[in-house]
Structure 1
Amino acid sequence: MIAATGQDALLSPDSVLHRAAERLAIQFSGMVNEETVERVVFESYTALARTAAVRTHLPSLAEKFARDRLTALAQSKGLIAKRVPEILFVCVRNSGRSQMAAALTRRLAGERVHVRSAGSQPGERILPEVALALAELDLDVTEEFPKPLTDDVVRAADAVVTMGCGDACPLYPGKRYLDWQLDDPAELDLDGVRRVRDDIRDRVEQLLGELIRGS
């Protein structure tokens, strides 16, 4: 997790967010205007503040989330080239199924795809049973956190995989949409979570075969 350092650690959240916006405005200069950068930074902070269990690092998490959103925005406008296919996994809380799918995809695909995940109603933290089931495969999700679903990441995706979030995900032409019917890990014991994990792994392997072959 990114922590505020130096002077940033002594500033108010608003001051830290303004500094984050300044850094990101430089990074995305010529692609996204400064007003949009600042809006995305503060929107990201507000969205995470509604759900995040850890408050100490919230401005830093917001900067990380905003950077990914701005990258997605620039990609959707063709201002940043997509070297590999983009996959977005969406569930309700972004604390179970979509996090498992993202972690397994990163493991199986390496740098052949880029992965994002989000939740239509994000929870406070990744479910402990989910983190444990992934740790059994040497997958560490301690740096991950539930993120709200935003329009920019949907626009940037080539494939959008939904898992129980209904009609929350906006539809755009030219994208591949899949709906995976999976049990909610929040309602399962560890053995049940392992079964969902293994089911997701099989589905990810099939999806990657189709995406990577197609690209």
Structure 2
Amino acid sequence: MPRTRPLLASALIAMATLTACSDDQRPASSGAASDSPKGDKAAAASDTAKPITKNLPQAAITQALLNDGELLPGYELLDDKSVTKGEYCNTTDTDQAPTGWVRGGDADYTYDGSTRNMASVRICLYDSAENAQAAYAAWKGTESDKEQKPSAQIGDESVLVLNPGFSEDNVNGYARSGKAVIRVRMDGHTVDGTDTTGAEATLSATLKRLQQVQAGEPVTVTAVDEQRAAAQ
């Protein structure tokens, strides 16, 4: 009997110590994190920044391009989605594919059945993030005085170019995520090139669709979704 009490006391102390350690290591409640605006913003930023790292096949790129009813109201897909030649992922003053170009896809959209004010989306995939970064820098051009940051960063880097060249009422949007570069062109309906919401929503939706394809998930994001979320 004399040895029973010390052993029992030791066991109780050990149990108390284990309980305290478990409490310290228990993760914070998920409900508390979801109530924090900062937590929501961090989650959204993390989702947007998931880089494209896989060598996506042509079918995946085609799937990521927006279908009828997935762009903004009034826009309809013109003909079929196309396979992009390498030279069309480069600046207009060259007929060569950018270094490291692998494949690409593009789609054109009419507005209210007219080709006067159109939209286009082009996705270009590269063999490395470094080559994609160089291609992105060249593709967006050198008109830094016409560049504007999106309201929220899209991918690893993104920029809007208002009224590039001698154009009027146009916006070109560019985004790079890992090994992929996306260009969106909106002609007209941009209030002299100052309303960039359509271009931003289309850029964001296209990137998120690429991310869904890369993750093996159903492709569900639309430009309408992104524009509505940005307005909240």
With structure 1 as the length reference, what TM-score do the two structures score?
0.24
Higher strand share: 2
Higher helix share: 1
Rg larger in 1 or in 2? 2
